[in-house]
């Protein structure tokens, strides 16, 4: 049993991680850390999960984590890189769920996050933890930047498309997200009374994950990509549904595209490629699981390829992905301790 | 006071129409018609609106409607054209809310609706009732095909964009809709238990409103348009949020685009062009009103123009639009009897 | 046209009031006051209602309100009585929507509100503004304490029951409320992510409205009442559904009880007594209206009378009730400017 | 590994059962039976649970089930008893989730279910499977009538109260339920569009589970009980929150009542008695688990004892309870294969 800690264990992603790790057959939770809730019982914050884990939340103290096998950082961006910097060298593996370590340079960070990077010496040192596209980077890594909800949903949908020779350069991605993506919030705009019955666009053209997604897609496809990304908030608690559209410069058959996607994810136990004639992705098809459902559709009239993907933002878009990354880094079976990964027989 | 009838008064759009017409200062509701609910009291079906209208629902009998000033058809496609055919000549104005009379030819209808057109002799005879783009066609019209929820939200958002010289040809439209767009339904997939917490794509690449939207945009912009449209269902009752993306072949400033949109809708009391720096469209900003909120955003990184629009699918996307059309046809003030059209002072 | 002001115009009840008063045929809104949002535009806070009212929010300044015909206080308890005290004598009518002026003595206030009453000299001076039970007190009143959501739903349901000779003394009231009853909130427990899919009991046995409801029922019924009240929060935005149960000491027929309720509310345009054989109250039947739907049911097996009532907490449970009170105080028709009050014909 | 079958595997309770049994360490799912969906793949109906179980749905054929260790019946009442009758003697244990076998005599069934009992010879032969109140009946039973959602929530809350000497006879129970309690439905009244934002009372005074609950409480408390039960539907998918009120003939202290409840459920791993000073039951605290959270509150002003309980209607109120019953019947550890039963350490 490896020993792990979750820093930021009182937030939604952190709490999801605690639950997954507590039930993981090869891991134990040695510490749950939370600055604002230190001294409180974790199970008092999450009474619905008291059967999964019980323990007191510790204050942030990097020394107390020294020697642990894996430390997960489920902190807001800005805070996360600082925490990572103080842990490098003293713990086995650091898996960061924030956006802090996902970009290559501090100028891009400054431009899109609107602040100086808090630990620029770490930039470029972290492996990007998207197992389905870049899984070969993971075994033995010591510092992993784990992509979150939009980057995961968009890159899994668009990546294979951009490897099609017929695909154009301009990718449009429109996504709807549940409110848990914003974290535990006291913003009245995210109150039940304000979100109920609403659907909103936000941060159009300036969401901080745009350069990360574009860079990931360019690396995976090996060519230039121009990404327009429009996020929306809808009144569900968890889940992301992303729809990407890529123009097709020449006709491609639906059959060919479907086979292309199936081949791309043949070794990925958490991606389910759906035949759109039978079923299209839906949030309820993936809620609570670490799976990404996706379906490519050739739109002949529009001259484009549409790919729809669905994930649970707190699992495949956060905590589950982090555990999957841990499994790959440490050489555990990829699906260990994760719901939704093995098709039952 | 003109005398009107609503055929299909027990459905959601029809019921919304009954409420609006009953409160309209220049109209009265002479008949509410509903095949399946004939003989029942309308207010028993809609007890929350009993203070607006009370009356017995009649069986469909075109003769009984002869001589009325305006008859609204809020029927499923396929049925609506048949009803319209039997009323032409015997009533003053026919305003059809279905898709039956919106296309120019029966081949397109067959290809996208999957059936023969039930009254092909009416094709091409109806005026297309989108007041903000084609309002000059309306005064004095006798047969109007009133565009519904997606066509209204998408065309209002994309129309002005396509008049920009810098705009490309390939339009991507992604929209989320509340469940009332599917009408009063007994489909278990639309039950509360199945829709709760879900978000789904559907009819990707083959929604029947695609050719109508493409044709409207081509007419308004005076050039060829290639439209990719992806509809999604989300768990709200009413509302549509549409996001359209048009590639920009050369840079355009945000200021220029905003002014362009403001000019395009300067005379339209029901369109509110928002400055995205201040606010982006949201369903709750238009729910219950006949307004369309929209905001254009230049996405420099993506090299595109994004326009987000929001409407209430049962008002601006159905019943309210129909009343607005009636107002224009008969020369009444455009905002008469409609919520959301005049800015208070 | 009388001149009115709404103090607390940025909260949910206050905003609802602004909308109703702006559309009222005999009233104008001379001032909208809000401490925290002074200087902002009201329509920027409520863009969905910009067509109803536009104006700048003023800071609280009692002198600036002097001479107005009616001032509505939509403030948190504790603040409201202080504001009322500074307006007495300088404005025509004060209508307070808080609980501050609804109790008879400061000891009860201290016991249930957990604080000293901030203006005890006003206690006992305000008329209790529940038009259906105590409407004769209203004409000409200068200071009215307007009951809110739970007190209205519970007293309208239980009042007539307790005038039945067969009714026992112990009243049980269980109610579910939408989240808007808690006001515009930054409490994470009321965030969408936390409320979604939840239903909770709260303040069991110690809700501050218990003594007000008990006193009102005792006064109306002319006898002692022992009230057990259990409030619950459910994930809807607006609406209250209250279920009261009164033991029956001897059998009463369903017919007799139904006629008794119809007689009790014969002159009340906003109460609709439903025959439970046909329909039971539902929140959607009253949402957006000033109506209270209620149905009494004799439960023979349980030996009790059950009465279910439904109101919109922001209308009949707050803003609409306040306008109805204004109408009665000033001698306007009771239903003027209020939705849901007149049965259409 | 015992071999089980689920009859009614395409309904919500049946599907929940399939998932639980497939993951149960001592059970396997040998057959999934569903009349209407025979021949289809189970995982196509429940794609979100395809990782839990995959298999073809069989038509109903009692012979094909002969020799199985446990057969669960998740069928509508009326159908269930007929199925049970055809299985008695040929399978090891029959666990029926419907209400068919829960009453003692056919006259009561006729009065409350409005139909003749379809297999009266089975009445009185089934053990009532509520482990926390009547668990000693379970070991070795061959036919178990498993109580569903309302009976479980109400009896666990009210049972211990009625063993208090101070408690009166008249119990009031008011409960709110999510829509999944109505099963997979094509009733437009249960569509998303109609349920959204609604809360409704239904079957007031005549819900078919009233006599079952009254009989269970009388047996547990050893005295006469007069029950008034009012069910309500609210817009959540799963969960029940029940609030029961019992008059107190003499004062009882909060401490005493809390200890009384803790003692009553000391050996029950799935009941968590909450101290209401710290927390009150909420649906989200039990969703997805087999736990019942409950809290007793002495209401001094009302002269009553209030007990609030929360369960997941599809787990503790259906499938989880059935598995818990199976565990007790066969001598397995009570919490085996069930979420929420063991407090983590």
Encode chain B (345 residues) as per-residue pLDDT tens digits. Answer: 999 999 999 999 999 999 999 999 999 999 999 988 999 999 999 999 998 999 999 999 999 999 999 999 999 999 999 999 999 999 999 999 999 999 999 999 999 999 999 999 999 899 999 999 999 999 999 999 999 999 999 999 999 999 999 999 999 999 999 999 999 888 999 999 999 999 999 999 999 999 999 999 999 999 999 999 999 999 999 999 999 999 999 999 999 999 999 999 999 999 999 999 999 999 999 999 999 999 999 999 999 999 999 999 999 999 999 999 999 999 999 999 999 886 544
- In chain C, what residues touch A191 (CB-CB under 8 Å)? 179, 184-187, 190-192
Q: What percent of chain D has pLDDT over 70?
A: 99
Cβ B174–A202 below 8 Å, yes or no?
no
Query: What is d(CA C84, CA C146) in angstroms, rounded to the nearest whole number?
Result: 13
- In chain B, what residues touch A161 (CB-CB under 8 Å)? none
Q: What count of Cα atoms within 13 Å lies in the side-chain half-sphere of residue D265?
A: 28
Query: What is d(CA D46, CA C98) in angstroms, rounded to the nearest whole number?
Result: 49
Q: What percent of chain A has pLDDT over 70?
A: 99
Task: Quote the DSSP letter at residue C72.
Answer: E
What's the N-to-C CA distance of chain A in angstroms? Answer: 28
Of B51, B197, B341, the CB nearest to C342: B51
Nearest to B291 by CA among A231, A195, C55, C52: C52
- In chain B, what residues touch C52 (CB-CB under 8 Å)? 344
Instruction: Kindly calculate the radius of gyration of chain A based on its CA atoms and give it in whole angstroms.
Output: 19
Q: What percent of chain C has pLDDT over 90?
A: 96
Query: What is d(CA C268, CA C254) in angstroms, rounded to the nearest whole number?
Result: 22
**Residue in chain D lying closest to B178 (CA):** D193
What CATH number did the domain enclosing D51 receive?
Answer: 3.40.50.720
- Cα-Cα-Cα-Cα torsion B173, B176, B178, B183, nearest 10 degrees, comes to 40
Q: What is the domain count for chain A?
A: 2
Task: Quote the DSSP letter at residue B180.
Answer: G
CA distance C146 to chain A (A): 23
Say yes or no: C143 and C173 in one domain. no
Backbone angles phi, psi at C49, to 5 degrees: -120, 20
Contact yes or no for A170/B304 (Cβ under 8 A)? yes
CA distance C340 to chain B (A): 5
Show the tokens assigned to B76.
Answer: 């499923």
Contact yes or no for C314/C150 (Cβ under 8 A)? no
Domain contains A141: yes
Domain contains D137: yes
Query: What is d(CA B122, CA B337) in angstroms, rounded to the nearest whole number?
Result: 30
> What does the pLDDT look like over A11-68, one tens digit per residue?
999 999 999 999 999 999 999 999 889 999 999 999 999 989 999 999 999 999 999 9
Domain contains A338: no
CB < 8 Å from A in window 233-252 of B: 234-239, 241, 243, 245, 247
Task: Check whether C277 has a pLDDT greater than 70.
Answer: yes
Active site (catalytic) residues of A = 149
Looking at every residue in chain C, the average pLDDT score rounds to: 96
User: CA-based angle C66:C149:D189, to the nearest 5?
Assistant: 135
Looking at every residue in chain A, the average pLDDT score rounds to: 96
Say yes or no: C111 and C164 in one domain. no
Query: What is d(CA A291, CA A317) in angstroms, rounded to the nearest whole number?
Result: 10
Q: Looking at the DSSP assignment, which residues form a beta bridge with residue B94? A: B71, B143
- Farthest-apart Cα atoms in chain A, separation: 61
With the C-alpha atoms ordered A128, A129, A133, A135, is the resulting torsion angle positive or negative? positive
Q: b/e map of B241-259 (b: 16 or more CB within 10 Å)?
A: bbbbbbbbeeebebeebbe
Q: Is C226 exposed, middle or buried (0-12, 13-18, 19+ CB in 10 A)?
A: middle
Query: What is d(CA C227, CA D300) in angstroms, rounded to the nearest whole number?
Result: 10
Domain contains C336: no
Say yes or no: D21 and D35 in one domain. yes
CA-to-CA separations, B343 to B157, B271, B276, C3, in angstroms, rounded: 21, 11, 19, 21
Q: What count of Cα atoms within 13 Å lies in the side-chain half-sphere of residue B157?
A: 34
Q: In sequence order, what E strands does chain A have?
A: 2-7, 27-33, 57-58, 70-73, 93-96, 127-128, 143-145, 170-177, 200-201, 226-233, 240-247, 271-273, 292-299, 304-311
Nearest to A33 by CA among A57, A65, A4: A57
The mean per-residue pLDDT over the stretch A280-291 comes to 96
Nearest to A153 by CA among A338, A11, A295, A263: A295
Q: Is D88 exposed, middle or buried (0-12, 13-18, 19+ CB in 10 A)?
A: middle
Position D345 scores a pLDDT of 44
Task: Check whether C342 has a pLDDT greater than 70.
Answer: no
For chain C, say whether A186 makes contact (Cβ under 8 Å): yes
Residue C35 pLDDT grade (very low, low, confident, very high; cuts 50, 70, 90): confident
Backbone angles phi, psi at B255, to 5 degrees: -60, -45
Query: What is d(CA B210, CA A194) in angstroms, rounded to the nearest whole number?
Result: 33
> Do the bridges between strand D2-7 and strand D27-33 make them parallel or antiparallel, or are there none, so unpaired?
parallel
Say yes or no: A301 and A166 in one domain. yes
> What does the pLDDT look like over A213-253, one tens digit per residue?
999 999 999 999 999 999 999 999 999 999 999 999 999 99
CB < 8 Å from A in window 118-177 of B: 170, 172, 174, 176
The mean per-residue pLDDT over the stretch A182-203 comes to 95
Say yes or no: A95 and A186 in one domain. no
Say yes or no: C127 and C176 in one domain. no
Domain contains D339: no
Say yes or no: A109 and A14 in one domain. yes
Q: What percent of chain D has pLDDT over 90?
A: 96
Task: Check whether A185 has a pLDDT greater than 90.
Answer: no
Position D234 scores a pLDDT of 98
Nearest to D200 by CA among D177, D172, D229: D177
Cβ D289–A51 below 8 Å, yes or no?
yes
Around Cβ B163, how many Cβ atoms within 10 Å? 15
With the C-alpha atoms ordered B53, B55, B58, B63, is the resulting torsion angle positive or negative? negative
Domain contains D158: yes
Task: Looking at chain C, list the stretches that DSSP marks H as alpha helix, in order from N- to C-terminal side.
Answer: 12-23, 42-45, 62-65, 79-87, 106-113, 131-134, 149-162, 192-195, 210-221, 254-264, 320-330
The mean per-residue pLDDT over the stretch C325-342 comes to 94
Residue D344 pLDDT grade (very low, low, confident, very high; cuts 50, 70, 90): very low
Cβ C301–D227 below 8 Å, yes or no?
yes
Contacts of A99 (CB under 8 A, 6+ apart): A77, A113, A145, A148, A208, A209, A212
What CATH number did the domain enclosing D216 receive?
Answer: 3.30.360.10
Looking at every residue in chain D, the average pLDDT score rounds to: 96
Contact yes or no for C159/C218 (Cβ under 8 A)? no
> What does the pLDDT look like over C80-109, one tens digit per residue?
999 999 999 999 999 999 999 999 999 999
- In chain D, what residues touch B44 (CB-CB under 8 Å)? none
From the candidates C149, C252, C286, C330, give the one annotated as an active-site residue.
C149
Look up the domain containing B208 and give its range. 150-312
Position D341 scores a pLDDT of 83
* 3-state secondary structure (DSSP) of residue B309: strand
Cβ B302–A236 below 8 Å, yes or no?
no
Say yes or no: A186 and A171 in one domain. yes
Contact yes or no for D270/D246 (Cβ under 8 A)? no
Cβ A282–B234 below 8 Å, yes or no?
no
> What does the pLDDT look like over C182-241, one tens digit per residue?
998 889 999 999 999 999 999 999 999 999 999 999 999 999 999 999 999 999 999 999
Q: What count of Cα atoms within 13 Å lies in the side-chain half-sphere of residue A21?
A: 31
Contacts of A136 (CB under 8 A, 6+ apart): none
Say yes or no: B154 and B288 in one domain. yes
Say yes or no: A181 and A304 in one domain. yes
What's the N-to-C CA distance of chain C in angstroms? Answer: 28
CB < 8 Å from C in window 207-236 of D: 210-211, 214, 226-230, 232, 234-236
Domain contains C344: no
Cβ A306–B205 below 8 Å, yes or no?
yes
Say yes or no: B219 and B290 in one domain. yes
Task: Check whether A342 has a pLDDT greater than 70.
Answer: no
Say yes or no: A62 and A162 in one domain. no
Contact yes or no for C196/C141 (Cβ under 8 A)? no
Position C65 scores a pLDDT of 98
Nearest to D185 by CA among A324, B187, C110, B339: B187
- In chain C, what residues touch B56 (CB-CB under 8 Å)? none
Chain-centroid distance, C-alpha C55: 26
> What does the pLDDT look like over B240-285, one tens digit per residue?
999 999 999 999 999 999 999 999 999 999 999 999 999 999 999 9
Task: Looking at chain D, list the stretches that DSSP marks H as alpha helix, in order from N- to C-terminal side.
Answer: 12-23, 42-45, 62-65, 79-87, 106-113, 131-134, 149-162, 192-195, 210-221, 254-264, 320-330
Task: Check whether A299 has a pLDDT greater than 90.
Answer: yes
Of B226, B230, B306, the CB nearest to A230: B306
Nearest to B237 by CA among C303, D95, A234: A234
Domain contains C283: yes
Residue A343 pLDDT grade (very low, low, confident, very high; cuts 50, 70, 90): low
Chain-centroid distance, C-alpha D299: 28
For chain A, say whether C47 makes contact (Cβ under 8 Å): no
Residue D343 pLDDT grade (very low, low, confident, very high; cuts 50, 70, 90): low
Cβ D241–C226 below 8 Å, yes or no?
no
CA distance B100 to chain C (A): 32
> What does the pLDDT look like over A113-131, one tens digit per residue?
999 999 999 998 999 999 9
């Amino acid at each position: 049993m490896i020993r792990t800690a979750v820093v930021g264990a009182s937030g939604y992603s952190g709490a999801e991680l605690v639950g997954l790790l507590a039930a993981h057959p090869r891991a134990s939770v040695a510490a749950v850390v939370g600055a604002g809730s230190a001294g409180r019982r974790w199970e008092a914050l999450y009474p619905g999960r008291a059967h999964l884990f019980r323990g007191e939340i510790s204050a942030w103290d990097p020394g107390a984590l020294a020697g642990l096998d894996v430390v997960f950082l489920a902190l807001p961006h800005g805070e996360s890189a600082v925490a990572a910097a103080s842990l490098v060298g003293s713990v086995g593996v650091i898996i960061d769920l924030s956006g802090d370590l996902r970009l290559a340079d501090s100028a891009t960070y400054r431009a899109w996050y609107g602040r100086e990077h808090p630990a620029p010496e770490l930039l470029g040192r972290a492996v990007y933890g998207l197992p389905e596209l870049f899984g070969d980077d993971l075994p033995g890594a010591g510092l992993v930047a784990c992509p979150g909800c939009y980057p995961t949903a968009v890159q899994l949908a668009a990546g294979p498309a951009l490897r099609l020779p017929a695909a154009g350069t301009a990718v449009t991605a429109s996504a709807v997200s549940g409110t848990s993506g914003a974290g535990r919030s006291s913003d009245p705009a995210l109150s039940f009374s304000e979100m109920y019955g609403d659907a909103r666009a936000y941060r159009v053209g300036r969401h901080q994950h745009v350069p990360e997604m574009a860079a990931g897609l360019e690396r995976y496809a090996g060519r230039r990509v121009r990404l327009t990304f429009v996020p929306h908030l809808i009144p569900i608690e968890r889940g992301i549904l992303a729809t990407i559209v890529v123009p097709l410069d020449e006709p491609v058959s639906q059959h060919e595209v479907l086979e292309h996607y199936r081949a791309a994810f043949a070794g990925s136990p958490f991606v389910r490629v759906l035949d759109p004639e039978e079923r299209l992705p839906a949030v309820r098809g993936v809620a609570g699981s670490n799976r990404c459902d996706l379906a490519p559709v050739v739109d002949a009239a529009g001259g484009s390829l549409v790919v729809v993907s669905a994930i649970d933002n707190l699992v495949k878009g956060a905590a589950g992905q982090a555990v999957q990354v841990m499994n790959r880094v440490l050489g555990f079976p990829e699906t260990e301790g994760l719901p939704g990964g093995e098709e039952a027989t």
